């Protein structure tokens, strides 16, 4: 158990819909990262937050957005969903050091868009 909690574990929805994925980082970790894992793209970095502020953006679509709340939990919002958005979405957290610290991953949220 990494200490990172993600909900929901599984989600099935239709094209055009909007979903929200939730992540609670490990106790004390200030950084939250979102990754997307798909068969064709592999593990892709989407976005990072540190103590409520956005710190880095990767290959995140404009239809996707995220935020980190004062209690440090984070949400990833996916809108106007397309079939290609079906993937496993991971949240990870790391401690304040950032430098060289490993990322601890949650179990992922598997999104299926029909």
Partner 1 sequence: AQKVTQAQTEISVVEKEDVTLDCVYETRDTTYYLFWYKQPPSGELVFLIRRNSFDEQNEISGRYSWNFQKSTSSFNFTITASQVVDSAVYFCALSEARSSGSARQLTFGSGTQLTVLP
| Interacting residues toward partner 1 by CB under 8 A | 2, 30-31, 33, 42-43, 45, 48, 50-51, 55-56, 58, 88, 90, 92, 94, 96-100, 102-108, 110
8 Å CB contact between 38 and 46: no
Residue 70's closest CA among 25, 21, 103? 25
8 Å CB contact between 8 and 108: no
Smallest distance from partner 1 to CB 16, Å: 27
* Residue positions counted in the chain: 114
Smallest distance from partner 1 to CB 95, Å: 10
Which C-beta is closer to partner 1: that of 16 or that of 98?
Answer: 98
Which C-beta is closer to partner 1: that of 18 or that of 57?
Answer: 57
Which C-beta is closer to partner 1: that of 65 or that of 79?
Answer: 65
What does each C-alpha distance from 84 to 14, 16, 39, 44, 76 come to in angstroms?
12, 12, 10, 14, 17
Which C-beta is closer to partner 1: that of 18 or that of 43?
Answer: 43
């Amino acid at each position: 158990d990494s200490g990172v909690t993600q909900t929901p574990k599984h989600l099935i929805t239709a094209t055009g819909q909007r979903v929200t994925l939730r992540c609670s980082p490990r106790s004390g970790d200030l950084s939250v990262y979102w990754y997307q894992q798909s068969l064709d793209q592999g593990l892709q970095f989407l976005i990072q937050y540190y103590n409520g502020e956005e710190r880095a953006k990767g290959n995140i679509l404009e239809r996707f957005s995220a935020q980190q709340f004062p209690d440090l939990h984070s949400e990833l919002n996916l809108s106007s969903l397309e079939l290609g958005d079906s993937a496993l979405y991971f949240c990870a957290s790391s401690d304040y050091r950032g430098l060289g610290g490993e990322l601890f991953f949650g179990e992922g949220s598997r999104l299926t868009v029909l």
